[in-house]
Amino acid sequence: MGSRLVVLVSGTGTLLQHLMDECAAGRVPAEIVAVGADRDGTAALRRAQSAGIPTFVCRVGDYPDRAAWDAALTRACAGYRPDLVVSAGFLKLFGERFLAEFSGRCVNTHPALLPSFPGLHAVRDALAYGVRITGCTVFLVDAGLDTGPVIGQQAVPVHADDDEAALHERIKEAERVLLARTVAEMVSKGWSVSGRTVRFGGTVRSGDARKEGQR
């Protein structure tokens, strides 16, 4: 039986769609068992529903504070018994409860080569700085803003005539491939974390992730 993935989304769902396609083709040996969002009516949710994947929505405004929202999100995700939680364009920071539950087994993507240019404006910041090479990063989520251990990265050259939209589009193309490839390696080989170093072929593998992902 393949690994179980819960994917969290906020927007159009292009990262989600590529991951869905790769799972369906067998190139990612995993099943997306649920897709969750922080808002109703997104294109990403419609993509999941069209594919027959269960969905749920956990809106911050429905709870008295962020801690209560974080607890509800944690319960919703945990109910699907995921081996790995994938943040695919999910535009909310996770809280203490979520991180305690899914430490070591929640991955996120970022449109820059971390630790350079963290935050919401990574592409704009890279252009403003004048770098010749940027890219994307897949990393394990921790309590900081884009500060978790790096799992994989892909370089993307900056062209002389690039504006933010053109560069971001090329980064997103690389990001989709990198995310699916990284998830495939994690669920097929397992992974381990030592300090800030993530290695494939470690102690965490498929269903064992629920037991060992927090070590």
pLDDT in tens, 134-146: 999 999 999 999 9
C-alpha 157/C-alpha 179 separation (Å) is 19
Tell me which residue of 85, 110, 89 sits closest to 4, measured CA to CA. 85
Q: How many domains does the chain have?
A: 1
Q: What is the CATH number of the domain that holds 118?
A: 3.40.50.170
Q: How far apart are the first and last CA of the chain?
A: 23
The pair of three-digit structure tokens given for residue 132, joined into one six-digit string: 């010749």
Query: What SS3 class is residue 201?
Result: coil
Choosing from 18, 110, 121, 168, the catalytic residue is: 110
Domain carrying residue 174: 3-212
Name the band, by pLDDT with cuts 50, 70 and 90, for residue 110. very high
C-alpha 105/C-alpha 117 separation (Å) is 24
C-alpha 97/C-alpha 165 separation (Å) is 36
C-alpha 159/C-alpha 163 separation (Å) is 9
**110 among known catalytic residues:** yes
Q: Is the full-model pTM beyond 0.85?
A: yes
pLDDT tens for 51-101 read 999 999 999 999 999 999 999 999 999 999 999 999 999 999 999 999 999
